[in-house]
Structure 1
Amino acid sequence: MAHVHAGASFVPLGIAVLTVSDTRGYDRDGSGDLLSERLTEAGHALVERRIVPDDVYRIRAVVSKWVVRDDIQVILVNGGTGFTPRDTTPEALMPLFDKAVEGYGELFRHLSLASVGTSTIQSRAVGGVANRTLIFAMPGSPKACATAWDGILAEQLDARTRPCNFVAMVLPEAPPCAPREGQSTPDHGQGAHP
């Protein structure tokens, strides 16, 4: 079970938020608002926030520009993860991934099972790493964004989380995860089990 290590320091990350929607503007973007509030309350920096239509190439264009920026370590994408013809977020993002974070989508669906039942199988939440930038896509409802942030991302984007977290992966100068007493050093996701 993950826990916060008392001797480790918090390391703020630069995070961008992308809302994928054909209908929402900033005045009606409850999911973008929620993610922006949660990440800043946690101590991270909101570097940029955008809204784009459900279009695979527009989504990919924005994310492609963000992954080459030195001030963005994490990209949170909400919306476009369902099965309608206009839901193309996974198709936009997955070709950009150097590595997929399969466990993110699996854990998201596991956590959302309690609130939406078997409808959770209709969520194509995906995560990956592109150019040392973490990308996490989630459904566009505020409730789904809260599930992703509160249940997964808040801990995994916190350098104090043990036995491992993603911070050292995107910030090489960040201290690596230290093992708990009596454990070997984790390898940051490649078999990092106690």
Structure 2
Amino acid sequence: MGERIRGVPVHDHGHGDAGAGRRAGIVIASTRAATGVYTDQTGPVIADWLAEHGFEVVPPAVVPDGPSVGAAIRALLAMEPAVIITSGGTGLSPDDTTPEQTLPLLDREVPGVVEAIRRVGSHKAPTSVLTRGHAGTAGKTFIVNLPGSPAGVMDGLAVLDPILGHICGQLEGGHGH
């Protein structure tokens, strides 16, 4: 195992520069953070992790739960990033609608990614199985919904660590398997 970025292990699987020359966007779905009730803790973790992996990171968009999430994802898609990572809005509260905002934007789903994130989290917190979310592609952009908790984000990034470079390469037309 290599170094750690904000507590998230960074493994060197030949993908340490997964983002070299690639842009990434972040959407934080949190009404409380968007209105200043508290400071978002997950955006900086995701941004640091992406930067460590060589991505040019667009500053995180912190938006209220609901339609603002879909609007923020669409705005990022117009910039044609390689990756968009969302955090928050994946639970069962009435305003947790990040999955519903994300799904219509996807061309293809990649359910194994979210399944792996839930599986990793369930070993630490049984409630992680309640996390809803999607992973998939919109054109050449990979989108994944991560939970809103810092621990859930770290679990998600640990799952993405060895595969994100491969995903980006395939979306760019690489045929490596």
Query: TM-score, normalization: structure 1?
Result: 0.76
Residue by residue over 1:11-57, the C-alpha shift from the partner in whole angstroms, topping out at 9 and shown as x without a partner, is 522110110001115871110011011111222221232011001x2
From 7, 20, 25, the equivalent of 2:29 is: 20
8 Å CA contact retained: 1:73, 1:134: yes
1:109 is displaced (CA, Å) by: 0.8
- Are residues 61 and 100 of structure 1, via their aligned partners in 2, closer, same or farther at CA, if it must alter by over 3 Å? same
Provide the secondary structure at the position in 1 that maps to 2:136: strand
In the other structure, the counterpart of 1:36 is 47
8 Å CA contact retained: 2:29, 2:63: yes
Say what the alpha-carbon RMSD is for the aligned residues: 2.3
2:111, 2:141 → 1: CA distance? 16
In the other structure, the counterpart of 1:145 is 153
In the other structure, the counterpart of 1:46 is 57
8 Å CA contact retained: 1:52, 1:58: yes
Query: Are residues 1:130 and 2:138 paired?
Result: yes
Provide the secondary structure at the position in 2 that maps to 1:83: coil
In the other structure, the counterpart of 2:68 is 58
1:102 is displaced (CA, Å) by: 0.6
Question: For this pair of structures, how many residues does the alignment match?
Answer: 164
1:9 is displaced (CA, Å) by: 7.1
1:33, 1:11 → 2: CA distance? 17
Q: How does 1:157-176 map to 2 (within 5 A)?
A: 157-158=164-165, 165-172=166-173, 175-176=174-175
Gap regions ≥5 residues in structure 2: 1-11
2:164 aligned partner, one-letter code: L
2:63, 2:33 → 1: CA distance? 9
Gap regions ≥5 residues in structure 1: 159-164, 178-185, 187-194
1:17 aligned partner, one-letter code: I
Query: TM-score, normalization: structure 2?
Result: 0.83
Residue by residue over 1:100-149, the C-alpha shift from the partner in whole angstroms, topping out at 9 and shown as x without a partner, is 111011101110011102x1221013211012111000110111111101
Provide the secondary structure at the position in 2 that maps to 1:136: strand
- Are residues 34 and 28 of structure 1, via their aligned partners in 2, closer, same or farther at CA, if it must alter by over 3 Å? same
Residue by residue over 1:45-75, the C-alpha shift from the partner in whole angstroms, topping out at 9 and shown as x without a partner, is 21232011001x21111111222323x1100
1:74 aligned partner, one-letter code: V
Provide the secondary structure at the position in 2 that maps to 1:61: helix
In the other structure, the counterpart of 2:163 is 156
1:153 is displaced (CA, Å) by: 1.3
2:155, 2:18 → 1: CA distance? 22
2:18, 2:84 → 1: CA distance? 19
1:48, 1:108 → 2: CA distance? 24
1:169 is displaced (CA, Å) by: 2.7
1:167 is displaced (CA, Å) by: 1.7
Q: Percent identity?
A: 25
1:166, 1:41 → 2: CA distance? 17
